[in-house]
Amino acid sequence: MKRTNVVVDPRLIARARKLTGVRTMREILGRALEEMVDREEQRRLAVRLRGSGWTGNLSEMRKAR
């Protein structure tokens, strides 16, 4: 675990608290970093899978449900 000082927009922290119910800045920032990493991993996976050869029709697949 690394300790650091950061300047954070208090309005953004207040919005995060209101939306999530998370009270501590440490947990808010930890969750934010996890979310950022998860989104980037998903984005990279999507880029890697683009053009992977799937030729199905998503609209037709959804109609079959």
Does residue 8 lie within any of the structural domains? yes
Does residue 64 lie within any of the structural domains? no
Using an 8 Å Cβ cutoff, are 12 and 19 in contact? no
* Residue 57 region by backbone torsions, left for phi larger than 0, else alpha for psi between -120 and 50, else beta: beta
What is the number of domains present in the chain? 1
Residues 7-62: tens digit of each pLDDT: 999 999 999 999 999 999 999 999 999 999 999 999 999 888 887 777 788 888 89
Domain span at residue 15?
Answer: 1-52
Does residue 62 lie within any of the structural domains? no
Is the pTM of the predicted complex or chain greater than 0.75?
A: no
Q: Which residue has the tokens 């996890």?
A: 34
Does residue 14 lie within any of the structural domains? yes
